[in-house]
């Protein structure tokens, strides 16, 4: 098994740098043994994708085709929704064959039990976001998302995400040590729910790869950071060994 983990790319267009890097990466997975490939997309792959509207899919036709080709060749793709890509299951599952989840999931990858999640429950102090999450994830309100066309969500979301990103970027720069502590504290909490060997998350936009001990057991805690950095790297597990692979 060869597992790959990506998150927090925040694609706005297919033509931008990270859009092209992602497309090359997806196509490269087809050049391997696709039947042994499992790609984990841990949310915020897109800067905005709300609901099943094909408005968003039409912006990334080559990326959608690359995912479809990978699955057709025997590969597996798991999508854990983020806070920028919400209720996408109707498109990704029905059109592409991608398995979509919202909450944390567990997978046995070779000799490692791996917990994967977006990571938006790491910061339990962000009460404003937690209230927003509770609303947006409530199935009773899902129909509201479907009432408006994709272009309208895109217009509103683009304006909101820029303001949010500017504020959160400044906050991360000032509080990186505190955010790392949150990530590692979350690992301890999550382990009490169900033990694992490796936990992989995103959302925080802070790169972390740390070995710790929980209940006397060694645990690797990984946060994927974001693709806003100068160099893009993805987490990789093959034959039970973990490493990082640089993309260009």
3-state SS assignment for residue 231: coil
Mean pLDDT of 210-219: 97
Flag whether pLDDT at 159 surpasses 90: no
The DSSP line for 34-76 is GGGEEEEE-S-SBS-EETT-HHHHTT-HHHHHHHHHHHHTT-E
Q: What is the pTM of this model?
A: 0.91
Residue 195's pLDDT band, with cuts at 50, 70 and 90, is: very high
Q: Is the pLDDT of residue 155 over 70?
A: no
Burial bucket for residue 106 (CB in 10 Å: 0-12, 13-18, 19+)? middle
pLDDT, tens only, 9-30: 999 999 999 999 999 999 999 9
Q: What is the pLDDT of residues 98-154, one digit of tens each?
A: 999 999 999 999 999 999 999 999 999 999 999 989 988 887 777 666 666 665 556
> Domain spanning 2-247 has what CATH number?
3.60.21.10
Helices (H) and strands (E) in the chain — how many of each?
8, 13
d(CA 44, CA 48): 8
- Cβ neighbors of 157 (< 8 A, separation 6 or more) are 47, 48, 50, 84
Spatial strand order in the sheet of 2-6: 99-101, 76-80, 37-41, 2-6, 232-238, 241-247
SS3 at position 187: helix
The full length of the chain comes to 248
Report domain extents, the chain. 2-247
């Amino acid at each position: 098994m060869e597992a790959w983990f990506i998150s927090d790319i925040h694609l706005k267009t297919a033509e931008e740098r990270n859009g092209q890097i992602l497309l090359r990466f997806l196509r490269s997975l087809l050049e391997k043994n696709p039947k042994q490939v499992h790609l984990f997309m841990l949310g915020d792959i897109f800067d905005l994708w709300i609901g099943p509207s094909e408005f968003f899919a039409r912006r990334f036709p080559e990326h959608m085709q690359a995912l479809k080709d990978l699955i057709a060749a025997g590969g597996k793709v798991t999508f854990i929704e983020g806070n920028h890509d919400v209720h996408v299951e109707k498109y990704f599952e029905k059109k592409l064959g991608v398995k979509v989840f919202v909450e944390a999931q567990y997978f046995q990858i070779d000799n490692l039990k791996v917990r994967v999640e977006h990571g938006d429950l790491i910061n339990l102090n962000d009460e404003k976001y937690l209230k927003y999450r509770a609303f947006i994830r409530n199935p009773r309100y899902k129909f509201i998302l479907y009432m408006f066309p994709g272009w309208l969500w895109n217009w509103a979301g683009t304006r909101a995400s820029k303001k949010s990103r500017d504020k959160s970027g400044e906050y991360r720069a000032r509080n990186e040590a505190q955010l790392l502590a949150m990530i590692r504290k979350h690992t301890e909490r999550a382990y009490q729910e169900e033990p694992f060997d490796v936990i992989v998350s995103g959302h925080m936009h802070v790169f972390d790869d740390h070995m710790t001990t929980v209940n006397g057991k060694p645990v690797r805690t990984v946060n994927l950071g974001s693709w806003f950095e100068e160099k893009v790297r993805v987490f990789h597990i093959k034959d039970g060994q973990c490493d990082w692979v640089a993309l260009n």
